[in-house]
Amino acid sequence: MHLKYVGAYQKPEVYKQIINFPKRGILHGGFVPKHCNPMFSVAIVVNYRDRQKQLDVFLPYMHNFLRKQNLHYRIYLVEQQDKSPFNRGMLLNIGAKVAIEDKFPCVILHDVDLLPLDAANLYACTASPRHMSASIDKFRFLLPYDYLTGGVLAIKSEDFVAINGFSNKFVGWGGEDDNFFFRLKMHKIKIVRFPHHMSRYTMLWHKPERPNSARFFTLRENRQYSAINAEDGLNALQDVRVRVSNTPLYKHVKVQQRCDT
Ligand code: BGN
């Protein structure tokens, strides 16, 4: 099939790398195909709190979807267990850190309310970070803006480390992904996308989150004093307690902030 890559949709170069994997065919929070050698090792890192109904749909759907792609993959469910405002950036930092310590060369940062609709949407990293959820039903399958990186993003672990992950300062809804784009830009890392018809997702319904009004300020501050980004991110996760356990369907990364208010 001839694919057209238009505008924000560029032809990506695929990044092939595997790591040692556990026994084939066995669920260990993930999967290794039985009948072929996988070309990709991928950690799916999911930020989560209190969305049991969505999780009950997400997990079986994703395992079915991913198993068909013949990948070596593992799902990391990163759960914020304290009552402080939700911190997506911090959770993704912690989940990615655990996955990178497990030697995964590629992390896919994934919201729990998004389900991929196209089998061709390969859950693997490209040479440049790939924004995977470019076409969501909630946004009438249109990309809201060109530099959006929220929803689902595949990024090589080395790039995630190079930009120091996400800021930990965006609490509540919004902004952390825009700052993430700014971090990529500062490091001259461009994002790519698969074509529209390979990037469709459906969003599971939930009550709208209340946007955090401080996000404008934090975004501006991080832009103005860009050195902040080097001190706030993957390298600044001291104030959290992290416990990791294994379940058949995911590796559970439980997060509790020490200064819980
Ligand atoms: C944007 C949010 C993103 C979110 C997308 C899609 C902000 C920052 C304001 C300048 N950005 O508006 O975080 O992923 O919508 O929902 O709120």
Q: Which band of pLDDT confidence, cut at 50, 70 and 90, is reported for residue 10?
A: low
Predicted ipTM? 0.96
Gap from CA of 40 to ligand 1 centroid (Å): 31
* Token representation of residue 122: 């390969």
Give the chain's end-to-end CA distance (angstroms, integer): 55
Could you give the CA distance from residue 135 to residue 171 in angstroms, rounded to a whole number?
25
Q: Which residues pair with 211 in a beta bridge?
A: 173
Q: What pLDDT is recorded for position 2?
A: 46
Q: Is the CB of 178 under 6 A from ligand 1?
A: yes
C-beta neighbour count of 35 within 10 angstroms: 7
- Strand ranges in 89-220 using DSSP code E only, listed in sequence order: 106-111, 114-116, 130-131, 135-136, 152-156, 200-203
Q: Max CA-CA distance within the chain?
A: 55
- 144 Cα nearest atom in ligand 1: 6
CB of 88 within 6 A of ligand 1: the answer is: no
Q: How far is the CA of 255 from the centre of ligand 1 (A)?
A: 24
39 CA → ligand 1 middle, Å: 34
Q: Please state, in angstroms and rounded to a whole number, the distance separating the CA atoms of residues 71 and 34.
A: 10
DSSP classification of residue 213 = T
The per-residue pLDDT for 6 is: 47
Which candidate, 80, 89, 51, 86, places its Cα nearest to that of 175? 89
pLDDT at 5: 52
Q: Is the CB of 177 under 6 A from ligand 1?
A: yes
- Kindly state if the Cβ of 172 falls inside 6 Å of ligand 1: no
For residue 25 the two structure tokens come to 């065919």
pLDDT at 256 over 90: yes
Amino acid making up residue 243: R
Is 60 exceeded by the pLDDT of residue 202? yes
Cα 228 to ligand 1 centre (Å): 20
Q: Which atom of ligand 1 sits closest to the CA of residue 177? A: 13
CA-nearest residue for atom 17, ligand 1, is 174
Q: Mean of the pLDDT values across residues 195-218?
A: 92
- % of the chain with per-residue pLDDT over 70: 95
Q: What is the pLDDT of residues 111-159, one digit of tens each?
A: 999 999 999 999 999 999 999 999 999 999 999 999 999 999 999 999 9
pTM: 0.94
Is residue 79 lining ligand 1, measured as CB closer than 6 Å?
no
pLDDT for 207 beyond 70:
yes
For residue 261, is pLDDT > 60? Answer: no
**Cα of 178 to ligand 1 centre, how many Å?**
7
Query: Torsion over CA of 231, 233, 212 and 201, rounded to 10 degrees?
Result: 150
For 120, left (φ over 0), alpha (ψ -120 to 50), or beta?
alpha
